[in-house]
A and B are shown apart, each in its own frame.
Chain A
């Protein structure tokens, strides 16, 4: 399945809610054994507020291996590729990496302890 982001969301993609909706759509496609390609052609700016729920959110309910392998991007700039990769990595860590979770909890504990 190919999703043309600019056609769907416009050339400036910033909405977290739109990201959550896309996450559900991609998850449904993966459960049908489809591969998903996000086409970035025509996208001027895409923010982490969208990419984190759209891509990182997939790791919540699907295996990291499946998401890593079956969700790809095309026609993006170098910066967009970096943002896409960062969203994947953070989602993988957030939902699958116990050490990352521990670090996060420690950061909160430190903050509260003052």
Chain B
């Protein structure tokens, strides 16, 4: 997941937006791999396009064998092949609460040696990503998600994606200015600060809880949202991007969970 890849996904969505109703094929014959964000994005864009009569299909027979297998295991294309380490793409429509069961029953069991409090903490932190997307993004298709487990490093990845207005636009609307009047870098940094929220009933806990979870447990987090980018890991940084991503994509890496907060002060 990098700026160039995100820009290509943005171009892809724009191109799909110009297609006339009917059936169209996505040509992946020259692609060698699709990252989880791209798999989730393609599925979300396909579902979104279908609402206006544009039906997109990937012909697995025209892809390389490796890519076709990967797309099938991710359920981007139909097929029977599955992997114990790939959590297929799922779309959760607006208002859905099924992501709780998805996290608990499909995604989290991949990670070894979790205590009950650690498991609960992971579900809380990851659940906040979904809740944030549902509450703020205005994404018409809802939220797409998928995951991947790497056994050698005991690393579990989660991708959560929406096709909404993006964090910078959400922050701008919340503080009463136009999006172009806010620096995306500052907007996304602001959104990750505890107690900063663009919605009166919210308190700015969601992203702050996630942020604390990642930094306290040695995980990693990347967010592309509109023209904003944030990364939390060994170092923390935010910046603007040259091309806007049409929505928000959050990519989280969970490696181990040694820290679980014991009080309200330790949540953020």
Contacts and interface: CB of A to CB of B under 8 A. Distances in A.
A77 B120 contact: yes
Size category of the binding interface on chain B: 35 or more
Contact of B127 (A20, A45, A89): A45
B216 interface: no
Contacts of B266: 82
Interface residues of A, number: 35
B128 interface: yes
B186 to A, nearest CB: 6
A47 B267 CA distance: 12
Contacts of B262: 78, 82
Given A45-B124, A82-B267, A111-B186, A52 B97 contact: no
Contacts of B171: 111
A57 B135 CA distance: 17
A49 interface: yes
Interface of B: 95, 97, 99-101, 103-104, 117, 120-121, 123-124, 127-128, 130-132, 134-135, 171, 175, 177, 181-183, 186-187, 190, 193, 195-196, 201-203, 205-206, 209, 260-264, 266-268
Going nearest first, the 6 A-B pairs with the smallest beta carbon separation are A12-B100, A48-B205, A86-B264, A85-B264, A49-B131, A90-B203
